[in-house]
Amino acid sequence: CRLTKNFFVRSIGEHFEYAGDDAAFAHQYEQLVRSRRGGGAAASPPGVEAVLAELRDQREERRKAPEEAKRRAEIIAASYKRLHPEVYSLDRERFLDPTFLELTSELRRCPDKPRAIENCIRELAERGSLRQLRRDLWTFPVFTTTFC
């Protein structure tokens, strides 16, 4: 679709389909020019070769886009230097709040049944690990001040 549809030709302000078949496009373009003449359009449209050149350029640009994006990503990956490499690896004990670690550990051990989960949540709330703001909305610390 991206290689055949929605080509915008600025010189005439129209969108076209173009699959690389110049003859088929020339026919489509001639019909447009005829319909515009019938409507009394004063300015003469550009020739089919000029429009085809614009379409070919756009199509080639679209065809190369994935390859170009990959090339740019490789250049960035090869030359990018992390300003703060430590943020790319998580030191759980240093960056995650102990309450959060306890909460995740408890919930992992909790049986995967609705009633059991409700009991686990109630117990965590009673211990102060969770605070309910309203029905089905809870708050709890995640990161340490060191991380922030």
Nearby residues of 76 by Cβ (< 8 Å), 6 or more positions away:
none
So what's the pLDDT on residue 75?
Answer: 96
So what's the pLDDT on residue 100?
Answer: 94
So what's the pLDDT on residue 56?
Answer: 92
pLDDT in tens, the chain (148 residues): 788 888 898 888 888 888 888 998 888 888 887 777 665 555 677 888 888 999 999 999 999 999 999 999 999 999 999 898 877 888 888 889 999 999 999 899 988 888 888 899 999 999 999 999 999 899 999 999 988 7
So what's the pLDDT on residue 123?
Answer: 92
Strands (E), 49-134: 131-134
Contact at 8 Å (CB) between 124 and 103? yes
Contact at 8 Å (CB) between 25 and 52? yes
Distance between CA 17 and CA 3 in Å, rounded? Answer: 9
Distance between CA 17 and CA 8 in Å, rounded? Answer: 9
So what's the pLDDT on residue 38?
Answer: 60
So what's the pLDDT on residue 40?
Answer: 54
Q: What is the DSSP letter of 8?
A: E
